[in-house]
Amino acid sequence: MNCHVCGEELKMDSGRCPVCGFAVLVQLEQNKELDKPFQQTVVRYRRERQKDHEVGFFTWTWKREGPDHFANDRQPHPLARCGQLEDGQIHWHKEEIISSGEEPLMLSYFIRELTDPGDETGVQEKTGTIFFEGTWAGNVQVGLSLDQEAFVHFHVKDEDHEIISPPVNVLS
């Protein structure tokens, strides 16, 4: 059985999820009358737990450090804190990035939970990668949105097209 909020696999004797703290509820049969209020509770809890999570993406700069050695410098680009996002509105990064080739775009993202908002010393960071199919040569914009289930989606667009990522659970 998995947590309804973050998706973490749960032990049967657990009273709460070890990741997000949501109460473990076992539903023995489908009950449409109770399903909608339960889902609303899950979404409210998810929103509350992730409001201080910052989501963004990385870019890399390659530089030569000797005749045969290159080093990369990873630069984080924060997009927004989840508590700032409103359903369906896309928060676009203020600068475009340059995609270097005629290939699918690989977007490396981060999710940071600040244990004390504003204090960068208490950062816990998770990372992931999303591939966007198609040809992405030139300037690309990256954005972030929140859906009705409180999952985030990355958006990428250039002159020719715009694609939205599958949902990303900030808490898992």
Question: How does pLDDT run along the chain (172 residues), one tens digit per residue?
Answer: 788 888 888 887 778 888 888 887 766 556 666 678 888 888 899 999 999 899 999 987 766 777 776 667 788 999 999 999 988 899 999 998 887 766 788 899 999 987 665 555 556 788 999 998 887 778 899 999 999 999 999 999 988 888 999 999 998 8
What are φ and ψ of residue 96, in 5° steps? Answer: -80, 155
Indicate the pTM of the whole model: 0.81
Structure tokens at 147: 């859906």
Question: What distance in Å separates the CA atoms of residue 158 and residue 5, rounded to the nearest whole number?
Answer: 33
Helix, strand, or coil (residue 65): coil
